[in-house]
Amino acid sequence: MGKHDDVLASSATHVLNQPSSAPCLANEFPEAYGWSTKDPGEGRLRALRNSLARVLGWGIPDRLSRQRRQLLEDMASLFEHRTYGAEVNLEKRHNTWKKIYLVEYGIARLYRKNEDGRVSIHHFFDEGSAIWPVFARTRSERNTLCLTTVTPCTLWEADFLPFRECIKQDGEGAWAQFALALMEELAERSTMREFERQTLSAEERYQIMVRDYPELVERVPDYQLAAWLGVATATYSRLKNGRSRRV
């Protein structure tokens, strides 16, 4: 998710030339990813190409080599535009995750749920993010991850395996370079959140969330934010209303 001071870039050009899987800073620069209401069809496809180039770390599509422009077109042709309501299950545990998603609008959450219905939310994805089955286990029936829309969402989605083969055509190590960016980010965020849970009070964790993810506080239901923070819903309500107690 995106508004940390240490990763904000000074211009759209700079951002478009930095690799990112999730979060993506596309929503910081809507002129690079938006489309004209006079031509929504072509504008959407342009936004898709821009988002793909951004996620891959290739930079602005118009400045790519002929080979990469063709590869980008081939990749874009794999995607279909879909619209979903809130709380729609996109991926379920014990089911092989076969898709990659690009978030055009909306928020989705990545989580695990046990047999008793207890939920652990790992990550929220917003506009510009790419969501795909990072781990080998996720791409099998042993998958334990779930992906569900939080708000109504418009997504671009494609079959994962053809998408991966497209990236591999960019040269030796191309897939590893792409995959590593998201794997490192998710691992870093996961370990930091675990560290914060072990060392900080609920109030301190809440203040960090408000500071670093204000868009989540505005758009995500309280009970999901409570699960993400690792507190009871009643505790989250007290934190939100300034009646917190050390927990």
**Residue 184 binned pLDDT confidence (cut-offs 50, 70, 90):** confident
Evaluate if residue 8 carries a pLDDT over 80. no
Tokens representing residue 197 in the block: 């849970």
Cα 159 to Cα 3, 13, 127, 150, distances in angstroms: 30, 29, 20, 22
- Asked if residue 206 lies in contact with residue 232, where contact means CB atoms within 8 angstroms, the answer is no
From CA 236, how far away is CA 78, in angstroms rounded? 42
| CA 14 from centre of chain | 20
| CA 104 from centre of chain | 11
Evaluate if residue 227 carries a pLDDT over 70. yes
- Overall average pLDDT of the 122-127 stretch: 91
**Residue 80 binned pLDDT confidence (cut-offs 50, 70, 90):** very high
- pLDDT in the model for residue 190: 83
- pLDDT in the model for residue 6: 30
Pinpoint the alpha helices (H) of 65-105.
Answer: 66-76
Three-state secondary-structure class, residue 52: helix
- Asked if residue 129 lies in contact with residue 22, where contact means CB atoms within 8 angstroms, the answer is yes
From CA 141, how far away is CA 150, in angstroms rounded? 24
**Residue 39 binned pLDDT confidence (cut-offs 50, 70, 90):** low
Closest CA to 22 of 229, 224, 218, 187: 187
* Residues whose CB falls within 8 Å of the CB of residue 239, separated by 6 or more in sequence, listed in order: 202, 203, 206, 231
Tokens representing residue 36 in the block: 């004209």
Which of 10-14, 56-60, 113-117, 172-176 is predicted with the least confidence, judged by mean pLDDT?
A: 10-14
